[in-house]
Structure 1
C-alpha cells in the first residue's frame, strides 16, 4: 500500500523518506488536502484537464473508449470526442447531446455504441425520462456513425430487456468477422416493468453487421443464472438478477462477468451462446462490479462497488478489505481467491470512494493496473504477485468543494498516458514515469475498449 495522501509540495520534500511513507497506512486530518487540490505521488504528473462538451457540464462523465488519435468519453447526457494525438495539447473536437444514463461506450471502425439504462419516452436524443412501468418506454443501445469526428450522427437504436447498464463489444471470428457483437448487461427487474419482468438473470446479445449497422438486432438472450444466482447472502447491495459488467478476452474465447452477487467465467467460443464455466461468491463482497484479466489470461481482478459508488468507503471504519479489488488466479478453469487490494490513503468521510474501472498497463511479464476510485482518484498497482499487490503511484484531488459526490469514474492507459474521466471536470490527462511502467511505452494500440481485452506482445 502507498502512503496517506499529502500535497505535492509535501511529497517532494519527503521524497527521501519514500521507503517510510510506503509503509504508512493510517491517515491523519492533516493528510486530507484542501478541497479540489491536486495531489500526486512523485512519479505521477498531472498533464491537463480537458473540458466537457458544452451542455454536459452538469451531467456525470462515465466510461471511455479510444481509437486512433481520439478518445470518446461517455456522459449521462451524451458523449464528447477529444483529439489526443498530442496528449499535452489534447483538445475537445465535438460530441453529441443525447441523454440516457450511463452512456457506457465502445467504438469499432466508424461506429460508437452507447448504453442506455434509463427509461425514456422514446429512443431519440430529444426523449425525456419516463417510468419503466409504461410499456412504450424505451431503453437499450444507441449506435452512432463517427466517421466525421466533427459531426457524429445517430443511426440506430436497439431495445433490450431491462435496458443496457453496460455493454461489451465482442468481435466476430473466422467467417463471422464481418460482424461484431454487443454483450448487454442489465438487472433490477420488477413485476411492474412490462419489458423487465423477473426472473431476469440473463444478458442480451446484439449482432451488428459492420456493412449495414442499421440491421443491428438482438439475436439471443442467454440465461446466466438458471438457479437464480446469489440472492440470500447477507450484505449484498442487490441480489443477483443479471450482470453488471462483462469483460471479454476474445482471442482466448473467455469472458469474466461481474454479476452483482456472483463472479463468473464464460466460454465465448460461440459468440451467440456463451457458456458459464465457473462461478464464485465472496461473503465480503457487496456488489461484483467489473473485471480485468491479466495479459496471460491466468488471473482476474474483480471490483466490489460497496455502497454503489455514492458512499465514503475508503476510510478507517470500513478498512482494507471491503469495497476493494479481489484478485483471483484461474486454476484448472476455476477461480481461486488470492488477495484483496484497496488504496491505503484514507479519504475524508465526505468523499465517495470505492474500487471502480481500470485497465492493464502493457508491461510484458508483469501484471500492472491503473484504476479509478471515484474521489480516491487514480491508483497504480502491481499485482504480479497475486497474494501481495502493491500500489506504487497515485493521482487525486482533495474533497469536492461542494461536499458532494464526484471523482474519477474510469482511468485507462492508452499509448503512453493515462486518461481519467472526472464526473464534472472533464477528461484528465496523467503521466507516470516509473521503471515499472516505462516498458509500456513500446506498446502502441490502434483501439482500446477496455472491456474488450486483447493481448500485447511488446513492452520489453
Structure 2
C-alpha cells in the first residue's frame, strides 16, 4: 500500500498556551494530545518533502536484515545492512537506482569509504572472515570479528581484499586521514554491556579502541597498530539500576567523531561523553569528559558544529529498540545534549547548555530515540539533520545552544499497531542538496528540505562524506 503524505503542525508550547487560554475564557481546551499517524501513513512539515523510496530487496528484504549506516562518494551512496551493503546511484536524487548489492553477513556492517576503498564493520561472532561465514559462539576462540576492506573502483563489482580482526569486534568505526594522506586510520569502537558478551579475546576491562593503519595504495598491508586505553581511570562505573534510569558503565566507546583539521575527537563512550586530542593519530589523548547520570543512559554518538566550539551528544536510551518518545519518558531522556567547548588546549571543558528531543509523541509500538545525523552546510548557523528511528527525520537548529528548535520533520506511522517492530530511520544525512535516509525496514529514502534557513546549503559540494569524519565546511 502506498503511503499517504500528510502535513501536521508540531506540538509545542504554543499548543499548551492555547489550551490554557481556552480555559481562562471558559471554552473547551485545545487538545494537547499528539496526533500519531496510523500504520503506513507518512506525515511531514511543509518544508521537508519526501521525494523517493527504494524498498529493501533480495537478500536484504527480510525484516531481520536491518539497514544501518550510510557513506557517500561522488554520485554514489553506500548503505550498510546487517547482511552486507548496497551501492546506490544518486546522480538523479529523486530517482535513485541500485548499482550493486554485496551479500556479506555480519552485523551491523557500519560503513565508510575513501578513494577506491570501502570499510565494513563486523560486530557479530562469525565462523571466519569470509562473506560466506556463519554465526559462531562468542566463547569459541576461533571465532572472528573485525573490519573487512573492499575495493570499489568498479562500484558494480566491489571486490573483497582484506580483513583485520579486532578485539570485541567492530560495532562502529571512524575513518581518520593521516597527516601525510598516504595512509588512513580506522578507529574501531567496540564495547561490552554484560559478562555474557565476553569472548576469548574480549575481556574486562575494555576501555580501549583498536587502531588500524591502512596504506591507501596497498590496502592488503592494513594492520592493527595500537590499542590505546582512552580512560585511564576506567571511565564511568555505571549505577546498575534498571531501565530507564540506568547509566551504563564505560567499557568501550560506541561512536567516535573526528575533526582532523583541528586534531579533535568527540567520543560517545557509554557512560561518558569525552573530548580527545588526536594530534598523534595512533594514540588519542583524553582532554576532558562529562557525565549525566540523571538523564543520559548510553552515550551513543557525537557531532561537532562547524567551528568545533560545540558538540551534540546523543543518548540511545533503551538501545534503540524501545519506545522512548512518549510522555512517560519525557523530553530529557533519549534526547540530544548540547555542550559548548570552552577554554583552550588542555584546559578545554565541555559545558552543558540544553537538551533537544523531537516535539512529537510516538506510539508505544514505535522504537524512537536520538540517532545518527550530520550538519547541513549553512554558513553562520548550526543546523543538523538527524534520524530518530520510528520518530522519523528531524531538521533542527542549535545555533543558540541554550535554545535549540526544530525546523522541519518527516515521519512514518508505526509499523504495527499492536506490537513493536524494530524500524525507522537509522541514519539521515545531508549530502549535496538532499537528505538521504537508510530506513531499517522501509529502505532508502530521499528528501528535499526547503526551510528558508537552509536555502544556500546546496552551494556546498561534497566529494565524499563519512559523517563521523568532519571537515571545515567554509
The reply to whether TM is greater than 0.5 is yes
| 1:264 and 2:268 correspond | no
Q: Distance in 2 between matches of 1:77 and 1:28?
A: 42
CA shift for structure 1 position 18: 10
Distance in 2 between residues matched to 1:243 and 1:232, nearest whole Å = 14
Gaps of 5+ in 2: 20-29
Q: Give secondary structure in 2 for the equivalent of 1:289.
A: strand
1:93 shift after superposition: 0.8
The secondary structure found in structure 1 opposite 2:445 is strand
Partner of 2:36: 32
| 1-structure distance, mates of 2:217, 2:121 | 21
Go from structure 1 to structure 2 and tell me whether the alpha carbon gap of 1:9 and 1:259 turns closer, same or farther (over 3 Å shift).
Answer: closer
* Equivalent in the alignment of 1:57: 61
**Which residue of the partner structure matches residue 4 of structure 1?**
none
Structure 1 window deviating more from structure 2 (53-62 vs 161-170): it is 53-62
Which one of the candidate residues 42, 67, 85 is aligned to 2:91?
85
Aligned to 1:3: none
Higher mean C-alpha displacement, 43-52 vs 185-194:
185-194
Cα deviation for residue 52 of structure 1 reads 2.9
Residue number in structure 1 paired with 2:25: none
Matched, 1:232 2:238: yes
Secondary structure in 2 aligned to 1:441?
Answer: helix
Deviation digits for residues 294-319 of structure 1 (CA, Å, limit 9, x no counterpart)? 00000000000001001100001111
Contact 1:249–1:453 (CA<8 Å) still a contact in 2? yes
Partners of 2:203 and 2:351 in 1: how far apart? Answer: 34
Q: Which stretch shows the higher mean deviation, 307-316 or 30-39?
A: 30-39
1:426 to 418, 443, 454: 443
* 1:396 pairs with one of 411, 415, 422: 411
- 1:209 equivalent among 203, 209, 215: 215
- Of stretches 234-243 and 415-424 in structure 1, the one that deviates more from structure 2 is 234-243
Whole-Å separation in 2 of the counterparts to 1:23 and 1:110: 55
- Find the aligned partners of 2:398 and 2:16 in 1 and give their Cα distance: 16
Aligned length: 446
Please point out which of 86, 107, 121 is paired with 1:115. 121
Cα shift at 1:232: 3.1
Residues 1:383 and 2:401 are matched in the alignment: no
1:248 aligns to 2:258 (yes or no): yes
Q: Does the 8 A contact of 1:237 with 1:308 survive in 2?
A: no
Cα separation, partners in 2 of 1:48 and 1:363, compared to 1, 3 Å: same
| Aligned counterpart for 2:352 among listed residues 337, 355, 358 | 337
**What does residue 276 of structure 1 align with?**
286
Match of 1:160 in 2: 166
Inter-partner Cα distance in structure 2 for 1:55 and 1:360: 32
Q: What are the within-5 Å matches in structure 2 for residues 182-221 of structure 1?
A: 182-188=186-192, 190=195, 193-221=199-227
C-alpha contact (below 8 Å) 1:304/1:322 kept by paired residues: yes
Distance in 2 separating the partners of 1:254 and 1:236 = 29
Q: Please state whether the residue corresponding to 2:94 is helix, strand or coil.
A: helix
Q: Distance in 2 between matches of 1:24 and 1:98?
A: 54
Does the 8 Å contact 2:7/2:43 carry over to 1?
A: no
Residue 178 of structure 1: how far off its partner (Å): 0.5
3-state SS, counterpart of residue 123 of structure 1: coil
Structure 2 SS opposite 1:55: helix
Q: 1:48 aligns with which of 49, 52, 71?
A: 52
**Residue 318 of structure 1 pairs with residue 324 of structure 2:** no
RMSD: 2.1
Corresponding residue for 2:314?
303
- The CA deviation string for residues 226-256 of structure 1, in whole angstroms up to 9 with x for no partner, is 2111013353353110100100001110000
Question: Aligned partners of 1:203 and 1:193: how far apart in 2?
Answer: 16
Unaligned runs of 5+ in 1: 1-6
Residues 16-44 of structure 1 deviation map (CA, whole Å, 9 limit, x = unaligned): x9995698899866711110211110111
Please give the alpha-carbon distance, in whole angstroms, between the structure 2 residues aligned to 1:244 and 1:27: 40
Report if the CA contact (8 A) 1:51-1:425 is conserved: yes
